[in-house]
């Protein structure tokens, strides 16, 4: 059966609470990324170095542990405690099991061996990661927009990117993807709108509200594909809390 919907999911910040993992990993070295709201309102480079209150201390601290040690600690945190937000688990599994949906992960992840790290978190969270169509960590120096452009194909009726940062939205707009944006990740709602010109109707303030919106978008594909499955293989569309406030 042909793939008709391309569903690209971001990982860091969107599917998992990366802030908590980064905070705890850096804290093991005496470094401080600051409060979550301030973390989310910084430019990408400064997210890891801290704001005015933490920047000087962190710059000094970064000269002490080697970068690989810090990345190793971050990798350990991801693999041991990282979990996908529960609202997405059954929904992603349903997308994976739907023959007409081409579903996978595309994300810039700074752990060591990001591909296995991402898969470890997905597997622990109950996601059938072995049947994902792709898990693509973005290498340093490679732009997400270029990968999205390369993935776009005329065989898809629709292409959707679910993510959480301004750069993700711009990449989606440039390559013709519909975007669903989570303001609970690396960029706040205010920052997405004022600095990224993100359409307010594309922004959701919790994993639950975004998962509800995504389930509605996937429903026509999942429900149609039930016809092609044996009864024992059928997956009911996950029950997700109502849309509520975006």
Q: How confident is the model at residue 224 (pLDDT cuts 50, 70, 90)?
A: confident
User: Interhelix angle for 86-97 vs 207-225, to 10°?
Assistant: 20
3-state class (DSSP) for residue 199: coil
The whole-number pLDDT of residue 162 equals: 98
Chosen domain end from 80, 95, 115: 80
Q: Could you read off the pLDDT of 7-26 as tens digits, one per residue? A: 999 999 999 998 888 888 87
- CA 232 to centroid of chain Cα atoms: 31
At which residue do the structure tokens 């669903």 appear? 180
The whole-number pLDDT of residue 66 equals: 57
Domain residues for 207?
5-16+84-233
Domain containing residue 148: CATH number: 3.40.50.1000
Contact 114, 146 (CB under 8 A): no
3-state class (DSSP) for residue 181: strand
CA distance 154 to 52: 47
Q: Are residues 147 and 102 in the same domain?
A: yes
Q: How confident is the model at residue 230 (pLDDT cuts 50, 70, 90)?
A: very low
Q: Could you read off the pLDDT of 64-115 as tens digits, one per residue? A: 455 677 788 889 999 999 999 999 999 999 999 999 999 999 998 988 899 9
Q: What's the structural domain count of the chain? A: 2
Antiparallel, parallel or unpaired: β 5-9 and 158-163: parallel
CA distance 61 to 67: 11
The whole-number pLDDT of residue 201 equals: 96
Chosen domain end from 65, 80, 95: 80
The whole-number pLDDT of residue 121 equals: 97
Q: Are residues 116 and 148 in the same domain?
A: yes
pLDDT at 37 over 70: no
Q: How confident is the model at residue 229 (pLDDT cuts 50, 70, 90)?
A: low
pTM (two decimals)? 0.82
DSSP 228: G
Q: How confident is the model at residue 56 (pLDDT cuts 50, 70, 90)?
A: very low
DSSP string, 230-246: -GGG--PPPP-------
From residue 112, give the alpha-carbon distance in Å to each of 18, 74, 89. 15, 8, 24
Q: Are residues 63 and 92 in the same domain?
A: no
**Mean pLDDT taken over the chain:** 83
Q: Could you read off the pLDDT of 183-213 as tens digits, one per residue? A: 999 899 999 999 999 999 999 999 999 999 9
Q: Average pLDDT in the 145-160 region? A: 95
């Amino acid at each position: 059966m042909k793939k008709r919907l391309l569903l690209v999911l971001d990982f860091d910040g969107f599917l998992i609470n990366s802030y908590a993992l980064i905070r705890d990993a850096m804290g093991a070295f005496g470094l401080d990324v600051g409060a979550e709201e301030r973390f989310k309102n910084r430019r990408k480079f400064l997210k890891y170095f801290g704001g005015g209150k933490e920047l000087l201390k962190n710059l000094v601290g970064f000269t002490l542990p080697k970068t690989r040690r810090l990345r190793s600690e971050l990798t350990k945190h991801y693999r041991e405690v990282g979990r996908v937000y529960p609202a997405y688990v059954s929904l992603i599994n349903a997308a994976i099991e739907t023959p007409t949906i081409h579903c996978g992960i595309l994300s810039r992840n700074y752990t060591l061996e990001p591909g296995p790290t991402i898969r470890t978190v997905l597997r622990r969270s109950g996601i059938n990661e072995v049947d994902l169509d792709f898990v693509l960590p973005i290498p340093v120096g490679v732009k997400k927009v270029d990968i999205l452009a390369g993935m776009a194909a005329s065989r898809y009726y629709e292409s959707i990117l679910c993510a959480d940062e301004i750069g993700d939205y711009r990449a989606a707009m440039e390559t013709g993807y519909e975007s669903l944006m989570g303001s609970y990740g690396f960029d706040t709602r205010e920052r997405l709108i004022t600095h990224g010109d993100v359409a307010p109707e594309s922004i959701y303030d919790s994993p639950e509200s975004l998962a509800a919106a995504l389930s509605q978008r996937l429903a026509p594909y999942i429900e149609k594909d039930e016809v092609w499955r044996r009864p024992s293989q059928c997956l009911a569309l996950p029950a997700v809390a109502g849309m509520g406030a975006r």
